[in-house]
Amino acid sequence: MTNPAPSILPGLRFRQRFPLLALILERFVLSLLLLFAVSILIFGGLEALPGDFATTYLGQSATPQAVANIRQDLGLNRPVTTRYVEWLGNAVQGDFGTSWASKNSVSEQIGKRLGNSLFLAGFAAIISVPLAVGLGMLSVHFRNRLPDKIINVISLAAISLPEFFIGYLLILFFAVKFGMATFPATVYDSMGFVERLKAIALPTATLVLVVLAHMMRMTRAAILSVMSSAYMETAELKGIGAFRAIVKHAAPNALAPIINVIALNLAYLVVGVVVVEVVFVYPGMGQYMVDAVTVRDMPVVQACGLIFAAVYIFLNMTADILAIIANPRLRHPR
């Protein structure tokens, strides 16, 4: 007599009993696989670039023997796969090696620079997120009227301009012509909190203008989509004020797409801060990476690229998970 075949696979049973946990674990595993693929692209892409640190460091007058000696000292004559496995294993433990140019620990340098970048991106997020959601609600409330049109025109103008151009305009008017802001946006460890805020005023304003329009327009579109629902018409027939209906009923039900677009823009704030840091000479991760690229300092470039990718993937994963939690149809898919 044979045992009856199991009616359901263990993995499928786990998904049926804990659907939310299964979706979160699925997103987490996919994010790890994506980060692994990105690490291969970063390492392989930098290896495929013509030239290397030795020739850049020694210049055009370098002899072949001198270039070969530096390549041997740096271990560049070993197989690519060996160096990749060693680099990834150390990176997982938080060790990104030593800078070829400065001979300093890359992890220590990134620790200082990453804090500056997160401070700038975080302060821009604190201003831009509530402002974008508020303007989106106002735009819906005054739909097709003058305030809505003004908000849309300004947002379209902000979307159309690249961040470096917005940054240079702000420098020209607020730092050069009127002397109201500081440039370059230099910060250092002994600087007070208020002084630091003054120093990052212009780069923060640039980042806010860049991400504000996108978040505001997506918030407006998500709330307008909900406003056409039958229950919103019922709420209005019950005599609830228009703005109260938007805040109390429409906005909570449009939360999933709003969270998604906010998380994506927060990811852009951290990753897209590279251009803004270079424009304002801000001592963050972006400036550090650009300086390293000019001298082909590969350990620094690889570390910055991997960290930027990890932050971007983590915020996208967080957006997915929050969207699942906020949307019952995603929590209980048929």
If asked whether residues 178 and 56 sit together in one domain, one would say no
Judgement on whether residues 86 and 125 belong to the same structural domain of the protein: no
The reply to whether 16 falls in a domain is no
Mean residue pLDDT of the chain comes to 81
Q: What is the rounded CA–CA span in Å between residue 102 and residue 298?
A: 12
Residue 310, in any domain of the structure: yes
Within a domain: 101: no
- The CA distance from 330 to 334, in Å, is 9
Is residue 110 domain-resident?
A: no
Between 158 and 304, the higher pLDDT residue: 304
pLDDT bucket at 51, cuts 50 / 70 / 90: low
Q: Bigger pLDDT: 327 or 148?
A: 148
Residue 329 is predicted with a pLDDT of: 63
Q: Which one is predicted more confidently, 57 or 79?
A: 79
**One domain for residues 240 and 294:** yes
What is the pLDDT, as a whole number, of residue 1? 46
The pTM is what? Answer: 0.77
Query: Mind listing the pLDDT tens digit for each residue in 97-144?
Result: 888 888 888 888 888 888 888 888 888 888 988 888 888 888 888 888
pLDDT (0 to 100) of residue 39: 93
How large a percentage of the chain has pLDDT more than 70? 89
Are 89 and 129 part of one and the same domain?
A: no
How many Cβ atoms are within 10 Å of 91's Cβ, its own excluded?
Answer: 21
In a domain, 19, yes or no: no
Which CATH number covers residue 238?
Answer: 1.10.3720.10
Indicate whether 262 belongs to any domain: yes
User: Do 86 and 215 fall into the same domain?
Assistant: no
In a domain, 102, yes or no: no
**Residue 30 confidence class, pLDDT cut points 50, 70, 90:** very high
- Residue 139 is assigned to a structural domain of this protein: yes
Segments forming the whole domain that contains residue 40: 35-93
Same domain for 248 and 159: yes
